[in-house]
Amino acid sequence: MNRLVAIRSQESLCRERAALDSARRIFWLAQAQEWEQRALDEIAYHFRECNASHAELARG
């Protein structure tokens, strides 16, 4: 989950830059959106791994 924290930090940083850099606001918001998608992918990966582990335990 440390990876998720790092990803969310990058997303937050991009949103802060968007607020401060009006000339490149759209760029920074697009970057934040990419980091947000990475976070969602990381969460999905984590749940797939947990579900696979639980399925193995149930079989065993």
Rounded CA gap, 17 and 47, in Å? 31
Average pLDDT, the chain: 92
Angstrom distance (rounded) from CA 27 to CA 42: 23
pLDDT band per the 50, 70, 90 thresholds, residue 56: confident
List the domain boundaries for the chain: 2-59
Confidence of residue 53 (pLDDT cuts 50, 70, 90): confident
Q: Are 7 and 46 in contact (CB under 8 A)?
A: no
pTM of the shown model: 0.80
Query: How open is the CA angle 1-4-57, to the nearest 5 degrees?
Result: 40
